[in-house]
A and B are shown apart, each in its own frame.
Chain A
Amino acid sequence: MKNKKLKNKITTFLIVIAAYAIVEILLLTGNMSSLLQGLLVPLCTYSLCAVGLNLCVGYLGELSLGHAGFMCIGAFTGAFFSVTTADVIQSDTVRFLLALVIGTACAALFGFLIAIPVLRLNGDYLAIVTLAFGEIIKNVINVLYVGKDSQGWHVSINSQAELGLEPGGVTYINGAQGITGTPHSSNFTIGVILVLIALFVVYNLTDSRTGRAIMSIRDNQIAAESVGINVKKYKLLGFTVSTAIAGTAGVLYAHNLSTLTALPKNFGYNMSIMILVFVVLGGIGNFRGSVIAACILTLLPELLRGLSDYRMLIYAVVLIAMMLFNWAPDAIFFREQIVAKFKKGGREV
């Protein structure tokens, strides 16, 4: 049992490292298209999100539809730090690392604060509260104005004019226009390292005393309570780690684009649901599956570009078909039969 788990872990790490090696080789030999080069960081971003949410859905057994909100917090705090300290901290790497820490910490803090009251709720009610939270974040960020002049910091949640900046003052977060000019510090190597760290964290968390406690809560909360497991503590821990990883993904996302705005498309409930799609398609509780599903579903619409008008239509059809193929009991039965045949044939030969 133990051995199998270890093997499973190592395989996952090896897959990620192998993928990284292959990409680097292709990059060095100049054999990679611009499209794919541009997709490398987003692939890491969404893999991170999926791994984080899978911890929440697969191990904690709680459905969250607000992970894009936590990603948004990570993205904005990280980017805000980078833009405001652009003059102070000269080294790009140091600044980015600090931004990562800050973004992750802020997302974790919000996750923790939200979790305290909210984790009392169950199932779909928790889902709707997290969805609501994500929408609140998006809405508030869209009307948030932060600027600085010689008098110090000014904050408004109404309009830029209300900041009352002196001439020469700088607006860092400009409402719907968000943050512009975030330094382009994300790269594939950092992305892969972050994915590896996240995998390391979640594997260790789930494969420890804590992890077993968390899973026992998922499987039967009352039984877990009765053997003396501190349900609240473990739920909080699991949820906070999950949101922290989403925050890290947000920082990575923000430093890959020169503009950061909170639109329904990137930080709305649609994105939260998209992350959930990665998790479910890759297998609930299966971190490797999350990474693979996140990569497949992020690449899919890009590879379908040749279909122009029919692109998103085909994407939807493929999504439904993949779900049916992976999850429908009939389809699983059918697959088993084929595999059985395949194996039988193999033996005869």
Chain B
Amino acid sequence: MSFIMYLINGISLGSVYAIIALGYTMVYGIAKMLNFAHGDVIMIGSYISFVTFSQMGLGPVPSVVISIIVCTALGMIIERVAYKPLRKAASPLAVLITAIGVSYLLQNIALLVFGANPISYVSMLDIPPVKLAGGELTITGITLVTIVLCLVIMAVLMIFIKKTKAGQAMLAVSEDKDAAQLMGVNVNGTIALTFAIGSGLAALAGILLCSAYPTLTPYTGAMPGIKAFTAAVFGGIGSIPGALVGGILLGVIEILGRAYISSQLSDAIVFAVLIIVLLVKPTGILGKPIFEKV
């Protein structure tokens, strides 16, 4: 019975990772950059929803909408100011380092604005827990919401990319930027759109993360960000279903590793599994194999 409980908790944790990983994987697929500031956009999204919901007393829907709008705008501004000027830089590492600078900046802005004291985040939705097997299994409402929402977002994104013009443009840019440009795709616009979607998802991820694990500080986004990045690589970075698979596997491995192997070494276990997977399948579980041109 405990095993099923652990599995559900793992899937729930993994769903949050998966939504965060989506942001990483989309940006990577299209702009070929690791956006290390993504985790901190999540944190900003959580604070915005906390301010609008708990402090200003807005309803759940307006507060979610506002945090998505703010994060989307934030993502686009960051892209425009800090990343776009470096898109054609001599080394792809330049933009990686700038992303780290942005990450520090967001953390320190949050520290100044919201203070160092943690905030207990109150979930917006009050869904009663589901009790199964005569009360031995308890699944919290937020767990269900997270898992369902994760699947819905994934489906919507897949349809968006397959069926819409903007989605096709994204695919084209991720395949070959220059060729896409020649075919009349607005590359800059597409990259900006990708950042907008990724950051909007970050707001949602932040709200779900803090609803499930209710402590909010300026550093809340950092570690889930890194783990989600790991999840994205795990599943095959650049692949949207890969983010889902990678996120959920990572969550399950983390929880099961902690439960059955060692609670002290759970981080090490997660990362060790990652290394082994990458050694066996060097581009991640669902990643495309790289063919080298001669």
Contacting residues, chain A, for B91 (C-beta < 8 A): 280, 284, 327
Q: What residue of chain B has the Cβ atom nearest to residue A311's Cβ? A: B108
A320 touches B86 (CB 8 A): no
Interface membership of chain A positions 320-335, coded 1 if the CB is closer than 8 angstroms to chain B and 0 otherwise: 1001101111110000
Determine whether B272 belongs to the interface, using a CB cutoff of 8 Å to chain A: yes
Determine whether B74 belongs to the interface, using a CB cutoff of 8 Å to chain A: no
B265 touches A140 (CB 8 A): yes
B264 touches A158 (CB 8 A): yes
B89 touches A125 (CB 8 A): no
Identify which of A140, A313, A324 contacts B109 (C-beta below 8 A).
A313
B108 touches A57 (CB 8 A): no
Identify which of A128, A309, A327, A328 contacts B112 (C-beta below 8 A).
A309
CB proximity of A116 to chain B, nearest CB, Å: 10
Determine whether A122 belongs to the interface, using a CB cutoff of 8 Å to chain B: yes
Contacting residues, chain A, for B102 (C-beta < 8 A): 316, 320
Give the docked Cα–Cα distance between A324 and B83 (Å): 9
Contacting residues, chain B, for A127 (C-beta < 8 A): 34
Of the listed stretches B138-146, B160-168, B188-196, B225-233, chain A binds B225-233
Give the docked Cα–Cα distance between A66 and B263 (Å): 23
Give the docked Cα–Cα distance between A269 and B271 (Å): 13
Interface membership of chain A positions 259-289, coded 1 if the CB is closer than 8 angstroms to chain B and 0 otherwise: 0000000000100010011001100100000
A132 touches B104 (CB 8 A): no
Determine whether A317 belongs to the interface, using a CB cutoff of 8 Å to chain B: yes
Determine whether A26 belongs to the interface, using a CB cutoff of 8 Å to chain B: no
> Given the known A-B contacts A135-B268, A320-B98, A329-B89, are A310 and B112 also in contact in the complex, defined by CB atoms under 8 Å?
yes
Determine whether B292 belongs to the interface, using a CB cutoff of 8 Å to chain A: yes
Contacting residues, chain A, for B101 (C-beta < 8 A): 316-317, 319-320, 323
Identify which of B34, B36, B85, B292 contacts A328 (C-beta below 8 A).
B85
A281 touches B97 (CB 8 A): yes
B237 touches A121 (CB 8 A): no
Give the docked Cα–Cα distance between A127 and B85 (Å): 24
Give the docked Cα–Cα distance between A127 and B82 (Å): 22
Instruction: Kindly count the residue-residue contacts between A and B in the assembled complex, taking CB atoms under 8 Å apart.
Output: 132
Determine whether A312 belongs to the interface, using a CB cutoff of 8 Å to chain B: yes
Contacting residues, chain A, for B283 (C-beta < 8 A): 125
- Per the 8 Å Cβ criterion, residues 48-74 of A in contact with B are 57, 63
- Per the 8 Å Cβ criterion, residues 180-197 of A in contact with B are none
Contacting residues, chain B, for A121 (C-beta < 8 A): 278-279, 282
Contacting residues, chain A, for B1 (C-beta < 8 A): none
Q: What residue of chain A has the Cβ atom nearest to residue B90's Cβ? A: A327
Give the docked Cα–Cα distance between A19 and B35 (Å): 37
Taking A139-B267, A158-B264, A313-B112 as given, write out 8 further A-B residue pairs in contact, using a Cβ cutoff of 8 Å, ordered by the A residue number: A124-B28, A128-B229, A132-B230, A132-B272, A157-B265, A317-B101, A320-B102, A323-B101
Of all A-B residue pairs in the complex, the 8 with the closest CB atoms, nearest first, are: A132-B271, A316-B104, A327-B94, A316-B105, A320-B101, A328-B85, A319-B101, A139-B268
* CB pairs A–B below 8 angstroms (28 shown): A118-B275, A121-B282, A125-B278, A125-B282, A125-B284, A140-B265, A143-B262, A157-B265, A158-B264, A221-B292, A276-B93, A284-B91, A312-B104, A313-B105, A313-B112, A317-B101, A319-B101, A320-B82, A320-B101, A320-B105, A323-B98, A324-B98, A327-B86, A327-B89, A327-B94, A328-B85, A329-B85, A330-B85
